[in-house]
A = this chain, B = another copy of it.
């Protein structure tokens, strides 16, 4: 029983409006593989955001008073803070260099997931551009899946695998074990993607060990009352 994660090389730089489906299919062909039943494709968030045109030029952002206060408290750019606030439901922690928020998609993360590395822009100062998370990652995954015939992102695979009630080795009932299978897969894919110059933003996965089914990002979000940050 093996899990095989293969980096798909040669994916070009993605621009706003690009259709990812044919790009991914071509990269699968180049890698000498295809999508069989049960295979999963894991995509880096950045190529989805870029295809969706989620790049924002900081110069175009007018910070509110609230963003200016957040900039003061966090030692960050006020325009950046404005975008963080627009992308968030609630600010949970602020320290110099650190802003922890509940993102509008529901998860808790730093800087609302806004990043400016690996973002290119038309201007001469590319650091002036930042990249927001995709508008609706589940919908994007579902749309790509419709085109390619299998699971991409968190469509068609379980976010959580509920093992409660299953017997363990000794016949106990496992009482609280729920496996964040999609997160574990994302971590595995991240290991293969690397983070820097390698540039392999898509990973082909064969041997995902749990039954595939409809899934959603929302499975992975801890209810407020179980969130120990609160």
Task: Give the interface of A toward B (CB within 8 A).
Answer: 1-7, 9, 13, 93, 98, 100, 116-120, 126-127, 163, 166-170, 172, 174-175, 177, 179, 181, 183-185, 187-188, 190-192, 194-197, 199-200, 208-209, 228-229
Contact = CB atoms under 8 A, between A and B. Distances in A.
Nearest to A180: B187
Contacts of A127: 172
A226 to B, nearest CB: 8
Contact of A179 (B177, B185, B195): B195
7 contacts: A4-B4, A100-B228, A116-B172, A126-B170, A174-B196, A177-B195, A229-B229
A172 B229 contact: no
A84 to B, nearest CB: 16
A184 B179 contact: no
Contact of A228 (B2, B93, B174, B184): B93
User: How many protomers of this protein does the assembly include?
Assistant: 2
Contact of A195 (B1, B4, B163): B163
A4 B93 CA distance: 39
Give the one of A1, A119, A228 with max B CB within 10 A.
A1
Nearest to A191: B184
